[in-house]
Each structure stands twice: as C-alpha cells, then as structure tokens.
Structure 1
Amino acid sequence: MTAPDLLERILARVDALRPVSGFPVVDEIRAEADRIAAAHPDRVTRTTIGASRLGEEIVDYAVGEGPSIVIVGGVHPNEPIGFHTALALLRDLAEERGPAAELGGRWHIVPCIDPDGARLNESWFADPGDRIGYARGFYRPAPVEQVEWSFPLDHRGIVFDDPMPETRALMGLMDETEPALIVGLHNGELGGVYYYATPDLVGAIDALHAIPAHLGLPLDRGEPEFAGSEPLAEAVFPELTSIDMIDALEEMGIDPTPHVVSGGTGDYGRLFGASAFVAELPYWSHPASDDTSGSGRSYREVLLRRAEELDELGAVLLRALERAEPHLAIDSPLRRGATAFAHMMAGSGDEARQRAAAPESDREATVAEAFSNEDHPRMFRLRFGTMLARTLRAEVVAGTAAPAVRLALADLETHLEAWYREADAHQETLEVLPIEKLVGVQLGTVLAAADAALALRAPGAPG
C-alpha cells in the first residue's frame, strides 16, 4: 500500500503542474529532453537506442541508480498525454525534486518511441479538445506496426518474428536493463480513468483511486476494453498480453487470429519478471461514464446494437477499400493502417453478438455500460473512416487517383460527414478535461506503481 506520506507528496506534486493547452510535437519533445539532459550532464545519460523506419533517432534518458524502471512515451502515436508525463518525470529526476527523485531506481525514459507515427497526428495536437478536429487528423498504426504490439510471439499456432526497428530498440533496452517495471504511457479517448497492472502491484490500488479523485476526474465504470476481463479492483484490470488474449478468445469460442497477430510489451516483459503498469486517461468525459445505476435497457439489446453498428461500419469501409485498393499507388503507414482496420472492423461485431447470446447477458445494463457500448462504434467510425478517407485523398492530391478511387472516396465521404455531424451533435454533452489534470493522474499513478514495484525488489521483500 502506498504510504500516506508518499501519497501526500505525490498529490502535492501533481497539484503543482502548470496548465497546458496542447501537446508537444516531435521536434519540441526532443529539444526539451535534450535541453534537460544538457543542463544536468552529471545526472542524465543520453543514449541513442535505435532509429525509426524513416530514420528518426530514438533516445533513452537514464537517471538514478538501482532496479530499472522503463518509461515509454508515444507507444500509440495518437496518445500524446504521455509526452508531457515523460518530460515532467525527466525534469523532476534531473533536478532531484519531488517524489520521483526520492523513490530510487534507475529510470530509463524514452519520451517518444514512434516519432514517425506521432508526426502523422500532429495536426490536432494544438487543439485536442475538438473531437471532430481530432478525428480529421487521426492516425493509428496497423496492429503489427504498433511498437507495443509487434513483439515476437509463438503461441497456439500464432507466430510472429518480424519486429519493426522501433520495437527492436525497445527490446534492446529491456534486454540491457531487465526492468523491474515497464510503463507504456497510453491514453484513452472518452470516458473515465482506468488502468492495467500486473497483480503484484496491488499495493498501489488505493493510490490509483485516490489520485484521480483528488484531481476531480471520474473512474471509468463502463465496459472493459477487452471483453470478459475480470478487474483487480474498480477500474483496474490485469495487464493485457497477447498470450492471455489468445487463451481468453479461444475459451469464448472465438478465433483469435483476426484479433491477435503478434506479441506485446507485457509478453516480452514476462521474460524478466517485470511488473507492468498502464494508466488510460480520456480527453473527454461524460456524466454517464461512471454511472452504475440501471439504464432501463437490456444488456443483451445493448450488445446487439453495438454488433449491428460495427457490422455497418465494416461494410462501408470494406466497400470503399475493395473498390479503390486495386488502383492504389502509394504505399504508406496510413494506407497500411487504414487497410488493416477496415478488415478488422468487418468482423468486429462478432464478439459482442456472441456475448449477447450468453445467459449472463439477460440483465439490465448500467448507464455506463450502455454509454460505452454506444460510443464504441462512434469512436471507430471517426477513427477508421477518417484514416481510409485520408488514404484515398492522398492519391487524389498526388495525382495518382484512378476514377474508382475518386468514386470510393466520394461514397465514403458521404458517410464520414454524416458521422462527423452525429459526433458533433453529441459534443456539447462532453466535458473537455484539463490536460494538466490528465498528466497529473498519469504522473502520480506512475509514481505509485514505481513505489510498489521497487518495494517488491527491496532487500528482505517477500519473494
């Protein structure tokens, strides 16, 4: 359990974070981290651990002594809250201030592990409160091109052994440091705060609840991201690994091959016995996100509606892709991601439909469950409809678009503009959350998780 005096110092630290209005772009992240390292050469060791596919330098900034803690920002490049968190941690450690400097350990901070992907999102970093603006500039890599989900895997017939350079850089850092704790700096999109943690970090749970409460942010009490995941505590779920997801999907009678194609950081971290922690923070909240009262709606009907809307989305995306794909001339991360997610959406309603058929779904849905299931298809429409449209527009702008590509884009844009209008109509019900409070939750809970992980490695700790 996090000691009361440490929790008090963590709360004081997060209260001191200054207001911010947007997110730093890649060049700003690198310049600030380098400035901190240059100002404290006796404290900070700067090491290039690899390069991105386009040749961007990937840097580790190491501070302190003791068991290693690996902090990785930008693991999903559409999740930039962690850029602020990584820089705040580095600044505190370099300047020997606050609870970070008191905890001990050798901190390895990689502020941006996927600079190529981050650059494809930078158009909305200055104004992240506008959900439609966010959607119009959205990019997320295809699953096998996501740094945290492209580790080697060989489990139940699913084999992957072609990690990309960014993942190899992170693998090399983990091989060298054998971390006690690894933290991917993620964030969600809409709802409340929730976490993933290895069960050995149970001592941090009280702090994981106290820190967002102190900052006035709700916990997310809606559907878990991975269906059927049993929480360790309210809004605290077991670490997600590819191996565990494959096993769970097969137990549910669902073919895992369309859903899991490669290993994750957690799978690789288990080689070292590393603890793992993730704090998921939303950009926007809604009163329904943490409302556990009855919705008056059947949980089965809620799931079936979700499945129907996901099927409709998959059909729209696949129709546009199948019409355009034979004529696409530009290979890019955006195209590969849009293609992968279009195919993924085509079968994404099956899981909800299968759960709806289970006897335990014959109950009333909570308000939070109904809301999260309703917004899930909306989120995917905005994300993946936009990515495919951006892919097709790139062909038009480059002058390589065949008539079939232009027709596919025109049809898709009709749907996309309707999806934007629908999301815009809901936007007035959303609360745009202050970025410094989101950073505060992430920074504070990372400190609590690090304290718990280091306690497990302390001399005399139960083994």
Structure 2
Amino acid sequence: MTDTGRRVRSAAASHRPDRYPTVAQAVAAARRLGERFPGRCRLREVGSSRAGRPLVLLSVDEGERTVLVVGGPHPNEPVGVASAVRLAERVLELPPRPGVAWHVLFCLDPDGAALNDGWLAGPLSAARHYEHFFRPAFDEQPELLPPGDGGGPPLPESLVLTGLIDELRPVLQCSLHGVDFGGAFVQLTRPVPALAERFARSVARGGIPLDIDSYDAVGWDSPAPGTYVMPAPGAGSQVLPDRPELSTWSYAGRHGGVTAVLEVPMWAVDAVRDARPHPEVRAAVGAAAATLGSRVEALAALLPLAPAHAGAAYGPLLRAVDFNLRVCPLLVEELRTGWCAAPLSVSRVTTAQIVAERLPLRIASMLLRLLSDTGGPAVEAARARAGAIVAAGLAGLDRLGARWVPVEAQVAHQARAVLAAADCVLG
C-alpha cells in the first residue's frame, strides 16, 4: 500500500475489520476523511429520514462524469454501510481520475438501520442477528418508488435519492446490498460489457459462491453466471410486488445512467453455484413449499396477540410482519404450481429452500420483538411457538451448509465490484 493509502486507512478507521460499523461510525469516518483531505472531499447533509436522521453524502473529486454509490438501502444488510466507507477510502488511495467525481451516500435508511443496530456489537451469530432483525415492508423501502396512479407520495428518503440522481446525473449508480444466506450476484438495469468476468473473479477471490440461478432474478436475462439484467416493465415472473421499473435503480436511466445492484452474502450456501440438474425437484420444492406454508400459517395465528399500539418504535415491525404474512401464501402457490414440475438446477432448488426457511425466520423474529413487552399465558405460548420457528429456520439453513463469510471478505468484494463496474462504464 502507498503512503497515501496508509494515511487514508489511518484517518478513516473506525471499526474492527470483523465488525460492521454503525451509521454513526460510518459518518464519523467520513468526517475524518473530509478533514484529512479537504482538497478532494466535501461532506454534506443532503436530506433527512422520516424520523429526522441526516442522510450524509461524501463527494470526492470534481468532474462531469459521476458515480453515485448508495449504502444501506436495506437496514438488515449492514455490509452496504461498511462497503461505502471502504469505497471512499479506496477512491482516496487512488489518484484522481480526470473528469470523474465520486459521491457516496453512506446510508439511505438510517431509521431502519437503528432497528438492527443491536446486532452490530457482536457476537455476529445468526441467532443473535435475528434477535435484532428488521426489514421493512416493500412500500417502506426507499429504493422502491410508488406507481404514478395513486400509489401515494414517495418516501422522504426516496425523494432525497431521486433528487441526487437529478442533480448529479450519474453515469453509474451502485446500490450496495447483501443477502443473509446464499451467494453473490449483480443485477443491472442494462448490460455492462466485461463486468461479469471481473465480478466473478472478485467473488472467487473472496471465497464466496456465485449465485447462478438467483430467486431474486427469476425470469430475468442472465448474460453470464451470477449477472442478471432487469426486465422490461411487466416481463418479470416473480409474485413479489417489487417492480424494477418503479425504482431508483431505473430512475437513473432517465439521465442515461446504468445501475448495478451488488449483492454479497453474510452466510454463504455453496450449492447456489451448482448448475447441475437437481435429481428430485418435485420432492425438494414440494417440501420447501410445505415448510413455508405451515410455518406462515402458524405465525399468522399469532399476529393478533401483537400489540396494535406498537407506536413509532415498533410500528414498522408490525407493518413488516403483516406484509410478509400476506405475501408468503402467494410464494407457496408459486412454488407448488410453477416450480415443482419444472426441470431446475441445484442452484434454483437451493434458493427455494433458502426462501422457505428464511421468510418464516424473519417473520417470527420480528414477531418476537413485538411480543417482548407484553405478558400473559397466551403471549407466553405465542413466544414459545415463534421461538420454535426461529430455531427450526436456523437449523434448516445449517442443513443447507450455511457458513459465515467474514465481514472483511464481504466488504473487500463489494468495494472491488464497485471499482470494477466503474472501470467498465467509465472506460
């Protein structure tokens, strides 16, 4: 590493390499970078969250061609905040690229991140992760925009991001995501030549499996393993209500920019890279559908015991539980009718198994948080039932071979992938 690189790391370091930073730690690191390199860095608050938390942007260098990096779009994916810090460090280690400016938004959803913060101090076990788990309902995720036909106004965080896109007109937008279980993959709003090869090399370097048949991209074009291109409006085949065309990813396209959504797992499941035909699709997918259906049915029976007056702190949890309970039966039907009779890869069947274990695990974990402040025999029984579903989900994921990916490996890959995407787009 150069002397400049050592100074950057010394100035920015705010957390141990085996930990994710909190949003406050990430912003503090950014402030130190700005103070250390005032000639190259500018730090500003570009808006506020629904609860009034600041959204902080670090800009590095000047130029007409801009790269916008969005950290923390999903609060249960802390790698994005960590990678945003690492990327700012890496850009400052390199000489300025003529005519190119970098803009790093450290966390798009700081309110959601605050509901997950309890896990970040460690230990970073799966059981403890789900004790502090929160992921908002779709209409409360800032990267997803409401339809123009009466879908309600955009979230304040969404307006901040679309405003930045309009201001900066990025040639490349990178959204830093993570998956709890599975493999790494990249989703693009349009093809980016040469990125797939560099992405795959980075994944291999980090000892992370490449997800070659991702559930998140069912029905999408895949020009190379682990690389997916978002479909035209209405062309996707998922039952989930996310529409890529109604997102801040696609919004960048109005200025000619391309978006790369970069996913990296916390716990790797190596079978997601297996392209061989699965020998028992009907049995395996049918069992996954049955698991998902029975656990969700049990959790739906517990929801009436959650306090309806959850308030500002737990209202998002209650809405997220309700949303997932409404969506899951559609997923069960999709697995039973659309997947069981089809020839599928080991990778695709494994993603179905992950979904079947993960979704009830998420719902049960958030429900346990909602039930934590109430009592009585019925609530105690509900907590025991939800706790058993959490334990069953964790055991099921263990059986799929889930293994922890060190934070450093996650962050290093994601930062490399952003730099590779920039190289491919900027030339």
The answer to whether residue 421 in structure 2 is matched with residue 454 in structure 1 is no
The answer to whether residue 387 in structure 2 is matched with residue 416 in structure 1 is yes
**Aligned residue identity for 1:313:** R
- Residue of 257, 267, 280 corresponding to 1:284: 267
- Residue of 432, 448, 453 corresponding to 2:404: 432
Moved more, 177-186 or 207-216: 207-216
Could you list the per-position Cα deviations for residues 240-288 of structure 1 after superposition, in whole angstroms to 9, with x for gaps in the alignment?
7xx63x4434xx8x6x7x5659921123222222101022111112342
Aligned residues of 1:219 and 1:235 also touching (Cα < 8 A): yes
Q: Specify the alignment match of 2:108 in structure 1.
A: 113
Map 1:83-94 onto structure 2 (within 5 A). Answer: 83-93=81-91
1:171 Cα shift? 1.2
Q: Specify the alignment match of 2:358 in structure 1.
A: 379
TM-score for both structures, normalised by structure 2? 0.87
RMSD: 2.8
Aligned residues of 1:86 and 1:110 also touching (Cα < 8 A): yes
1:239 Cα shift? 3.3
Aligned residues of 1:301 and 1:356 also touching (Cα < 8 A): no
1:126 Cα shift? 2.9
Could you list the per-position Cα deviations for residues 305-342 of structure 1 after superposition, in whole angstroms to 9, with x for gaps in the alignment?
33322222331232222x23685453522222222222
Aligned residues of 1:160 and 1:261 also touching (Cα < 8 A): no
Q: Specify the alignment match of 2:282 in structure 1.
A: 300
Q: Specify the alignment match of 2:3 in structure 1.
A: none
1:140 Cα shift? 0.5
The answer to whether residue 118 in structure 2 is matched with residue 123 in structure 1 is yes
Aligned residues of 2:286 and 2:340 also touching (Cα < 8 A): no
Q: Specify the alignment match of 2:295 in structure 1.
A: 313
**C-alpha distance in 2, partners of 1:103/1:193?**
31
**Aligned residue identity for 1:420:** A
Gap change, CA 1:163 and 1:413, over 3 Å in 2: farther
**C-alpha distance in 2, partners of 1:345/1:425?**
18
- Residue of 159, 181, 184 corresponding to 1:193: 184
**Aligned residue identity for 1:318:** A
Q: Specify the alignment match of 2:68 in structure 1.
A: 70
The answer to whether residue 391 in structure 2 is matched with residue 391 in structure 1 is no
Aligned residues of 1:153 and 1:262 also touching (Cα < 8 A): no
Could you list the per-position Cα deviations for residues 88-143 of structure 1 after superposition, in whole angstroms to 9, with x for gaps in the alignment?
222233x3x237x4475211110111111111111112336411111111101111
**Aligned residue identity for 1:191:** G
Q: Secondary structure at the match of 1:276?
A: strand
Map 1:85-104 onto structure 2 (within 5 A). Answer: 85-93=83-91, 95=92, 97-98=93-94, 101-102=96-97
The answer to whether residue 302 in structure 2 is matched with residue 324 in structure 1 is no
Aligned residues of 2:215 and 2:348 also touching (Cα < 8 A): no
Could you list the per-position Cα deviations for residues 50-85 of structure 1 after superposition, in whole angstroms to 9, with x for gaps in the alignment?
011111111111112231111010000111112221
TM-score for both structures, normalised by structure 1? 0.81
Q: Specify the alignment match of 1:220 in structure 2.
A: 211
Q: Specify the alignment match of 1:147 in structure 2.
A: 142
- Residue of 217, 230, 234 corresponding to 2:221: 230
Q: Specify the alignment match of 1:38 in structure 2.
A: 35
Aligned residues of 2:282 and 2:340 also touching (Cα < 8 A): yes
- How many residues are paired up? 411
**Aligned residue identity for 1:449:** A
Q: Specify the alignment match of 2:236 in structure 1.
A: 248
**C-alpha distance in 2, partners of 1:430/1:248?**
28
Q: Specify the alignment match of 1:349 in structure 2.
A: 332
**C-alpha distance in 2, partners of 1:337/1:292?**
34
Q: Specify the alignment match of 1:5 in structure 2.
A: none
Q: Specify the alignment match of 2:6 in structure 1.
A: none
Aligned residues of 1:29 and 1:111 also touching (Cα < 8 A): yes
**Aligned residue identity for 2:353:** E
Aligned residues of 2:71 and 2:108 also touching (Cα < 8 A): yes
**C-alpha distance in 2, partners of 1:127/1:104?**
42
Gap change, CA 1:261 and 1:21, over 3 Å in 2: closer
Gap change, CA 1:128 and 1:180, over 3 Å in 2: farther
Could you list the per-position Cα deviations for residues 194-216 of structure 1 after superposition, in whole angstroms to 9, with x for gaps in the alignment?
11123331222211111122233
1:418 Cα shift? 4.2
Gaps spanning 5+ residues in structure 2: where? Answer: 1-8
1:300 Cα shift? 3.4
- Residue of 77, 80, 92 corresponding to 1:79: 77
**Structure with greater contact order relative to length (CA < 8 Å, sep ≥ 6):** 1
**C-alpha distance in 1, partners of 2:98/2:247?**
27
**C-alpha distance in 1, partners of 2:327/2:380?**
20
Q: Percent identity?
A: 27
Q: Specify the alignment match of 2:175 in structure 1.
A: 184
Could you list the per-position Cα deviations for residues 169-212 of structure 1 after superposition, in whole angstroms to 9, with x for gaps in the alignment?
11111111111111111011222211112333122221111112
The answer to whether residue 159 in structure 2 is matched with residue 168 in structure 1 is yes
**C-alpha distance in 2, partners of 1:435/1:271?**
35
- Residue of 26, 29, 33 corresponding to 2:26: 29
Gap change, CA 1:356 and 1:89, over 3 Å in 2: closer
**C-alpha distance in 1, partners of 2:361/2:88?**
34
